[in-house]
Structure formats: C-alpha cells, structure tokens
Amino acid sequence: MSRGICPRVNSCGSFWISSLAIFAATVICVDAYSCHEVRTAFQVRQVGPLQRVPETPGTDVDLLICKHQGPSCCTRKMEESYQLAVKRETLHNIQSYSYELEHLISGHSDAFHDMFQYLLSFSQGHLSSLLEGSYSAVSRQTLPHVNQLFSSLSLYLRGANVSVEAAVHQFFNNIFPLVYMRLINPGIEGSMMGNEMGDCLRMTRQDVNPFGPHPDVMAQKLAGALGAGRQLVLALEEGLEVMNVTQHASLSKECVKGLVKMVYCSHCRGLTLIKPCVGYCLNVMRGCLASVSELDQPWRRYTSLLEQLTHGMAGHHSLELALLGVRENVNEALLYAQLHGPLITATVDKVCGLSTSEPTGTQPTSTEVATSTVTSSSPLPSAASSQALPEQWPGQIAHLRNSFPLKPSKNNKHSLRTLSREFLVYLQRYKSFFAALPEMMCDGENVVDDSTCWGGDGVLQSYNGKVVGIGVHAQRQNPEVKVRTVDPSMAEVKERLEHFNQETQEKFPKLDQMDPWDELGSGETEEGSTTDCDDEDGCQASGDGQEKESHEVVSSEGLGRVPGGDNPQVNPSRPPSVRVIGGLPSVSWNFALLFAGLCLQWILF
C-alpha cells in the first residue's frame, strides 16, 4: 500500500515543484520588464499625467507609432502625450539655437541705431557751433531748420519714407531768406513787408542758386553714405522677421511621428537611457526641418549683402565722413553766398520783383555783419568779377574755413568701423545656420555613434540607412520621415527674403565692386580712424607703452552657443565688447632704435 502510494506522492511533488519554478520565473521575468523606470522618465520629463503609465507592461496593447512584438509599457494615451511632448521639446530646441542668432541681429541693430544717433548729434552740434561762432547774425533763426534737417536724416536712417535730397534742399530753402537779409544785405529786413519776400526767396532758391554747387554736393554725399546705413537697418529688420518665423515653424504629422519613434519608442521597451544613432537622428531632423533648410541659399545671399552694406557704410569711414562733412558743406555754401552777394541781389531783385532800399552792389553799413572780417573799405566783388576774386579775399575769410575734426569723441573707443567689424566677425559664424540646424539638433549628448544606439525599431550596432541631404528635394529618399509638401509659412518667408535680396541688389548695383576690408579681426591700424589719438589731442606717444585707440582687436568671445563650437556667453542680448589694446611705435622711437643699432655696429667693428 505504502509502496503504491509513494510513487504518487513523488509525482505530485514534482508537479508542484515545477509549477512553483515556472511561477517564480514568471515573476522574475515580469519584474525585469517593470514599467518603473518608464514612469520615472515620464514624470521627470513632464510628458503628461503619470496615471497614463501602467505599472507592468502589457502584451495586447494596440499602438499606432511604437509598434513591436512583446510586452510594452506604452498605451495609446501615452503615445498622444509623447507626441505633444516631443513637439514641444523640438520647438524649444529650435528656438534655443535661433535665439542666439536673433539676439546677434537685434543687439547689433540697436548698437547701429545708437551709433547713428551719436554721429548725427555730433554733426548737428558742430554745425550749430559753426553758426553761433561765425554766423551769429543768423544762428538763432537757423536753429529750428538745423534741427529739422537732422531729424529728417535720423528718420531716414531708421527706414522712414524720407528723402535725403529733399531734406537738404528744404534746409537751404529755409535758410536762404535769413542769409539774404542778414548776411548779404543786412539792414533791409525792416523794409520788407510781411512774409512776401521770404516766401519768394524760399521758392526761388534753386533758380537763384545762391549757394553754388554745395547743396547738391552735400545731398549726394549724404544720400550715398546714409543709403547704405538705411538699407542695413532694413536688412537687420528683415533678418529678425525671418528668425521670428523660424522660431514658430510648424512640424508636420509625419515629422512628429518620426520624432516620437526616435525619442520615446525606446521607453516602451524599458530602454529609457539609450540614445538615437547619429545617422538616424540626421534623417529624422532633416526631414522635419526640410522646409526650414530651404532658406539656406537665400540666407547665404542675405548675409553676403549684409557684409557688403556694412562695407559700403563704414568702409573708408563713408557714413562718418558724410555726416561730419555737413559742417564744412554749409560753411562753404554760406561763404559762396557772401562772395557772390551783388550778383545774388541783382538776380533776386529781378525774380521776386521787390527792389531793396539800397543800390545793388553797395556795401552795407550795418555793423552786425559777424560772419565776415571784410571791412567797409573792402568792397564786395561785383557780379562781373565773381569768376576771379581779389587776392585779398581768401586771406580775409580763411578763419571761416576751419578743418573739421574727424574724431567724434576722444573717450569713445567704439567707432562705427569698429562696431561694423565686430558685427561681421560674428556674422561669419551664422552664414550656414539653416543648413546646419539639423546637425545642431543632433549634436552633443542627444545622440551616440558607438556600437549601441537606438535605430527606431530596435537596438543597433550601427545605423545602416542612407543619410539624406538638406532641403525638400533631398527628402524623397529619406527612409525615416516622409516630406509631402513645403511649409507655406517657410515658402512665404523664403520668397520674401529672395525679394529683399533682389531689391537691395537693384538699389545698390555696385555693392559687389566695393573693396573688401582686410581680414576680419586682424587688428591692423587703420588710417584716419575716428578713434585715432594724436599729439594735437594731448595724447601721449604710443611708444611709451600707453594704449593707443587706433589699434583695434575684436573680442573673440561668442554670443552663446555657436554652430560648430561651444563658447557660452553670459548675456547674449547685447553685442560683446571690443577690447582696444596695443599700439604702434612712434617715429621718434624708430629713429632712436635705428641710431642705437648703428652705434652698436660701429663699436663691434
């Protein structure tokens, strides 16, 4: 009996032991595929509500994106959260890289505005000082017209619909009555009835031509130099519009699915730490940013135009000299009017039909002629002799032809050329921004290129798919993301940028012919720099070790992250500072060193 029972007991024990072992193995296996790490990653990355993540993986989950055989920690609701999260994260990364370029443009745009305003104020102040010191008879009455002139120039540089030529000619029209009544014929103002004479003089100024060629010369110089500055301001505004659209680029459904597959589908298998393969990431990002990459060619042309406009504005100090030359042009115009006073008086008498109370061509007896040192015994040249002036005249009015200082301020180390050179140094790094954006998105710790990486459908030793190029056309062979159409907003901004480039080229057809500067950041001394310091300013010689402002070295610090490099900047909202160091030996030191060398050779030999 007992022998019969024992075999049954052994068989039953073996059955239960086997069952227990299978259950233990199942528990261990289930624990190995626990969704605990997935829940942690879901919560840390703030993907969505935590209750959407199951405690244990499911085997009959119906997924749309992260499909695979075997248990999964993902659900349909999790896939929806993953799509929203990956879209948010991708746009944030795009904005992060675009932020740097946007603030490079906006920061230097503000800096150029400030520099323009500084130069305008400086030129306006010196013109006012000329009028007060040499033409006091009309200085107070011409002050409003001076303010109006420079206000118009300021509006023009800011992109307003203002004509430089019209502003200059309006200025000379407005001051002609004052010049005629107080400089050419002082004392006749009281005999004029109402504003009749003044209106006639303003309307007929260009016909009478009392200021000679100087108004036209001044208008041409200002229009040419300020035109490049104005177009540069408009170009920077256009660049900001492009960056604004790029930061809010839309991602297609195919792109979002590809991003979820690349970033989060590995979580469904419990692989929360594995990273995508480099080639796989490039295909996904180039597919998602195909429409953005279409801006590459017009953007390269745009940056080239920025360089050329900056050269045209600041090269050879064109804009600075044009603004600083306003004083000299006005001075020459007033001198011309005084020297040709009799002829101008005769012409005005015929044109306006209002005869003065004094004979034409006589020297006024009023002592209020503060603008000339000519005495009553020195008659004004007659109309017939206006072509050949008496020899004593140039000496008598030489004190009015003072040379105009080129340096806006002895303490201002940041000239327009220095600011422009600094801007171009940083602009060089962003010429290929839109082509390099997908690579920047796949750079750093986001991807790996070793023997273990995520390939979308599983863990790979290496990604074997074909890596496509940039642009919409190249995405036809993209194995990861299907690109069906071009983003309408990107197509619109591309067309707008191309139109702006074409319009700029038509306005300035000779931009390509301008001589380029020396190598950017070379720090070579520039002759005539507005930051030069010479002996007339009371500066010490550069050979004594003192810093000289003419030797400019642009700081190499970048604005935040830079494509292809990593040099963080604390405050990217403003252009980096420019350090002014070094100097050049003076001529006296050169002769001293040469003399010492000759003496040494004579002693040795």
Q: Is 567 helix (H, G, I), strand (E, B) or coil?
A: coil
374 is written with which tokens?
Answer: 């000519």
* Residue 390: inside a domain: no
Q: Is 342 helix (H, G, I), strand (E, B) or coil?
A: helix
* Residue 12: inside a domain: yes
Question: Sign of torsion, CA 327 330 336 342?
Answer: negative
Phi and psi at residue 448, in whole multiples of 5°? -135, 155
Task: Output DSSP code: residue 379.
Answer: P
- Cβ atoms of 381 and 393 within 8 Å: the answer is yes
* Residue 39: inside a domain: yes
Strands 579-580 and 552-553, sheet pairing: antiparallel
- Cβ atoms of 259 and 284 within 8 Å: the answer is yes
What's the confidence (pLDDT) of residue 414?
57
* Residue 594: inside a domain: no
* Residue 95: inside a domain: no
Half-sphere exposure of 379 (CA within 13 A, CB side): 9
Tokens 């020459």 belong to which residue?
332
Q: What angle do CA 321, 105, 247 make, to 5 degrees?
A: 160
User: Partners of 580 in the beta sheet?
Assistant: 552
Q: At what angle do helices 214-247 and 76-134 cross, to 10 degrees?
A: 170
For the chain, give the number of residues: 605
Question: Sign of torsion, CA 250 252 258 260?
Answer: positive
* pTM reported for the whole predicted model: 0.69
Task: Output DSSP code: residue 588.
Answer: H
Tokens 């469904």 belong to which residue?
268
SS percent in the chain: helix, strand, coil, step 5: 60, 5, 35
Task: Name the residue range of residue 9's domain.
Answer: 2-73
558 is written with which tokens?
Answer: 């970048």
* Residue 245: inside a domain: no
274 is written with which tokens?
Answer: 């594995």
What's the confidence (pLDDT) of residue 27?
37
What's the confidence (pLDDT) of residue 205?
87
Q: Count CB atoms within 10 A of the CB of residue 52.
A: 17
- Cβ atoms of 480 and 259 within 8 Å: the answer is no
Half-sphere exposure of 450 (CA within 13 A, CB side): 6
In the chain the first and final C-alpha atoms are separated, in Å, by 133
* Residue 42: inside a domain: yes
What's the confidence (pLDDT) of residue 485?
86
Q: Which residues of the chain have pLDDT under 50?
A: 1-31, 191, 193-194, 355-413, 518-595, 598-605
The domain tally of the chain equals 1
Render 251-296 in DSSP notation, one character per residue: --HHHHHHHHHHHTTTGGGT--S--BBHHHHHHHHHHHTHHHHTTH
Single-letter amino acid, residue 204: T
- Buried b / exposed e along 62-81 (16+ C-beta atoms within 10 A): ebebbeeeebbbbbeebbeb
**Using CA atoms, how far apart are residues 299 and 77, in angstroms rounded to an integer?**
41
* Residue 50: inside a domain: yes
- Cβ atoms of 415 and 550 within 8 Å: the answer is no
